[in-house]
Structure 1
Amino acid sequence: MAWSRKSAMFASLATALYLLGLVLRNSQLVTVAVVLLSFLTWAALRAAHADVAASGRRLDEDEQNEDAPTLASLSAMRKISAARIFEDGEIQVTLRLQNHSPLSKILEVKDSVPEVMRIKEGANYILMELGPRRETLIEYTVECPLRGFYTLGPVGIRVQDPFGLFHKEKELHVYDDFLVFPKTEDLKDAFVKSKVPKIFTGAVNIRQPGEGSNFYNLREYIPGDPMRKVNWKAFARAGKMMVNEFERDAVSDIILIVDSRAISETGPVSRNSLVYSTRAAASLAQYFLSRRDSVGLVIYGDQINSVDRDTGKKQLYVLLTKLAGAAAKGNTPLQVVTNRIMPHINRGSPIIILSPLEGDPTLVNAVRDFRARDFDVTVLSPSSLEFEFDAKRLDRTGYEVMKTERDILITELRGLGAFVMDWEPDMLLSTALAGARGF
């Protein structure tokens, strides 16, 4: 329980009157002071009964039992419209607050929202009187501009006494977690082809019969052929069993490498290399998986996190989740990544590196090792120089010097046979890919 300014003023006044009454030997002043102090004491005792508890409270493991705290006079429940959205998406939040007491309560309620979120409609704060055994709804919409894992809650409650003299503050431990994926760009073509497609169900057709999706030929039925392949129309025409053959498909292994070292977060929070790299990786993963390629992911910063190659919608969800949690920290060099993954991927597989190409003396050697083993290397480099210069954190002279050094590095990488694009902040990913591949 806390004192308000009003209660502090009353207490000071009562004390002053009491002391003045003693000095002047005025019983009336003493009586008024005693009445005021008695009133404050009664109000404080009454306010102390404003108990607060939460429904849906997140309990620790040792609290998961039947003796866990139950509802008191106030409870809160929250409902969100979605648990997974993409950047710049919106979540509608409904907070239900219930008063189980037979007495009215004067409440200040604030639902905690992550700092990076923007409240687009409504408000997460309310000051109101909630009647006995009544409930109210607090509704608002938050816009989620940045990827990541976020939590709504707790709910801050301040219960005031009817006279506004005292208040009691507590938190309702009601939490809702949600995930914000990097936003994606629809790609028509990534201009990346594998030199050694694998013979599995995939997107690149080869003119050989086998398991696939496109019709190849008709042949006579052989005992053991599955009946689902029988072409009954051909059987009706020819009078003998005929089965459909399909073109055997091929699938490519695509490896996406995202640089999440501490330097990748240089620049404004919403405009830096890591933001653009994760969005590009999400877009590329979505494109290649829709083409039924096999996509793997490596994120390196303070450590190397990887997702093994796979196909399908489940793989896309895994990749998006991993990209949503990528944090800029550490300084692991690319050469360490190269040494770690190269023995486990097929020669000639396309490798797409998303990196600012800064602060890593092993870049050239790492790309040289990839090219020496005939990997198809594409480098998309969102430069932190552009972000810093646009934000006016870098002067023109410093920008020109560092830009020249960067151009020399890019030229050297291109000389190794890598496809490199100096990706400017406002350039579409499809344009950057076309530029890198020379289209």
Structure 2
Amino acid sequence: MTGRTVDRLDGGEWAIAATLVFAGFGLVVGSQLLVVAATLPLWYVAAAVFGTEPDTMLDVRRRITVSDGSSRGSTTDDGEPARSDSGVVAGDPGETVTVRTTVRNAGSDTIVDLRVVDGVPDAVPVVSGSPRTSATLEPLAETTLEYEVELRRGEYAFDDPTVRARDLTGTMAETWRPSTDGDDAIRCSSVVESVPLGDGTNDYAGEVPTDEGGSGVEFYSVRDYEPGDPVGSIDWRRYAGTRELATVEYRAERATRIVCVVDARSSQFRAATTAHLPAIERSVAAAERTFEALVDAGHPTGIVGIYADQLPSVAPGTDPATRREASRVLDALRDSERVGYWPVAQPDTDDFVTDLPRRLPGEAQVYLFSSFVDDDPVELVAALRARGYAVRVVSPAVTAGETDIATRLEALDRGTRLARARSTGARVIDWERERSLGVLLRDAIGEVRTR
């Protein structure tokens, strides 16, 4: 709790002036009633001068919940998202969370005029409700501020609310910040539990099942024995019954390389409204979480950015150096309109639709993050599919929910582009702002498919 300050809001000058006016007028007209009435303002001045300073006691508790009710990792018995010991609640960028701050009068006196302003972080916009309130509280009574904020990438701490309590006369006010229990921060950096993979694989052993026999754990077929087959793969049970040698094959599992392609052109710095995250912010957040989940699962993963005439990239890998380079490139893509430089070397391109497919590993899977507000991403998907790449598209919606005719027409054009991308065989996810990123990546991208 910060130190309390007590201010006198009224020095009583008006009361003295009123006394002189009433008394003088009463003497002029000879009215005893006006002369007596002239003393009333002096009682107000006396109360302000000799009154005791207020000593208000408050209990404050803040509760933050993800508005869509989806859990983040573990949950409590009542289904609420689990909190860390530090009171941090995790969510996805662009998601809305509900904040409820309850203020209770813990003293024995009535608080006649209580005003509260919650300590919302400056970088987090309030999208509904209000973090301000005023109330009169009887002893043990309480009031609740309820409002919603939209998350931004990063971690943000709430300050203790600012409270001002006035006395009965309204001449003295006490201002302080009471200590707050409960949740005190929000974080937009949780990771995806799993990201389903497609069918692009290489010749190294891994976790993606294929439609060919080889080294693995899942039964695939039985074939005639050939000289040189491992002794351990011989079907000895069949040999015991028929005296014929046969070899058991298991379904081969291959590793896969993945490339997350992030569209960071100037068209991606658009949002549905100024209060919402731009497409590039949501695309980078999705790419970042996808990259981390895939690398944690052991899949070599890389990053390619599409920015003006450059293709900043990080080769697929799983080592710490790849993680560091990918993090730097993603941060630069997020701020590319403002920064204008790249932390790693990048090739130049005159036509990314033509050049990008040529520079990708031949067996890689591609995750494309773009809002599809123009035709270039559609042409890129078609070029990738023509070369046999498995393509997954995550497209943040920046035209949804608006009612003006121009935006509605743009939404129709964007829907047509997504349909064209689907027609090439790509898996397309239209990411509405209300949908949780964790649920979207976990449930909507698809199951592992065989080659």
What TM-score do the two structures reach when normalised by structure 1? Answer: 0.53
1:38 correspondence with 2:43 = no
**Cα separation, partners in 2 of 1:275 and 1:309, compared to 1, 3 Å:** same
Number of the residue aligned with 2:220: 216
The answer (yes or no) to whether the contact 1:117–1:142 under 8 Å persists in 2 is: yes
Which AA in structure 1 matches 2:108?
P
TM-align CA RMSD: 6.1
How many equivalent pairs are there? 344
- SS of the residue 1:101 aligns to: coil
Number of the residue aligned with 1:274: 280
**Cα separation, partners in 2 of 1:289 and 1:155, compared to 1, 3 Å:** same
Distance in 2 of aligned mates of 1:35 and 1:307: 81
1:18-417 equivalent positions in 2, closer than 5 A: 35-43=43-51, 45-47=52-54, 49-50=55-56, 73-81=57-65, 82=81, 83-86=89-92, 89=95, 91-106=97-112, 107-113=114-120, 116-119=125-128, 124-132=131-139, 134=140, 136=142, 138=144, 140=146, 142=148, 144=150, 149-172=155-178, 174=180, 176-180=184-188, 194=200, 197-205=202-210, 207-210=212-215, 212-216=216-220, 246-259=250-263, 264-266=268-270, 268-269=273-274, 270=276, 272-275=278-281, 277-278=283-284, 281=287, 293-297=299-303, 309=317, 326=334, 329-332=337-340, 337-338=345-346, 362=349, 364=351, 368=355, 371=358, 382=371
Number of the residue aligned with 1:356: none
- SS of the residue 1:102 aligns to: coil
Distance in 1 of aligned mates of 2:167 and 2:237: 84
The answer (yes or no) to whether the contact 1:111–1:124 under 8 Å persists in 2 is: yes
Deviations 1:172-214 (A, max 9, x none): 4646222347999x99997xx54x615232224262432x453
Distance in 1 of aligned mates of 2:90 and 2:177: 26
Match of 2:422 among 421, 425, 434: 434
Deviations 1:265-316 (A, max 9, x none): 2454447441563476479769979998544446799xx89797559xxx9x
Q: Shift in Å at residue 160 of structure 1?
A: 1.6
* Identical residues among aligned pairs (%): 14
- SS of the residue 1:247 aligns to: strand
**Cα separation, partners in 2 of 1:108 and 1:200, compared to 1, 3 Å:** farther
Distance in 2 of aligned mates of 1:103 and 1:281: 55
The answer (yes or no) to whether the contact 2:118–2:162 under 8 Å persists in 1 is: yes
Gaps spanning 5+ residues in structure 1: where?
51-72, 340-360, 387-402
- SS of the residue 1:203 aligns to: strand
The answer (yes or no) to whether the contact 2:125–2:149 under 8 Å persists in 1 is: no
The answer (yes or no) to whether the contact 1:160–1:167 under 8 Å persists in 2 is: yes
Structure with bigger RCO (C-alpha 8 Å, 6+ apart): 2
Distance in 2 of aligned mates of 1:249 and 1:135: 64
What TM-score do the two structures reach when normalised by structure 2? Answer: 0.52
Deviations 1:16-67 (A, max 9, x none): 257769999x998996665443321234x423x44xxxxxxxxxxxxxxxxx
Which AA in structure 2 matches 1:246?
Y
The answer (yes or no) to whether the contact 1:182–1:278 under 8 Å persists in 2 is: no
Gaps spanning 5+ residues in structure 2: where?
28-34, 66-80, 82-88, 396-409, 428-451
Which AA in structure 1 matches 2:118?
D
Distance in 2 of aligned mates of 1:430 and 1:280: 18
Q: Shift in Å at residue 259 of structure 1?
A: 4.9
Deviations 1:130-156 (A, max 9, x none): 344x26362636364766544444322
The answer (yes or no) to whether the contact 2:222–2:248 under 8 Å persists in 1 is: yes
Distance in 2 of aligned mates of 1:173 and 1:432: 56
- SS of the residue 1:154 aligns to: strand
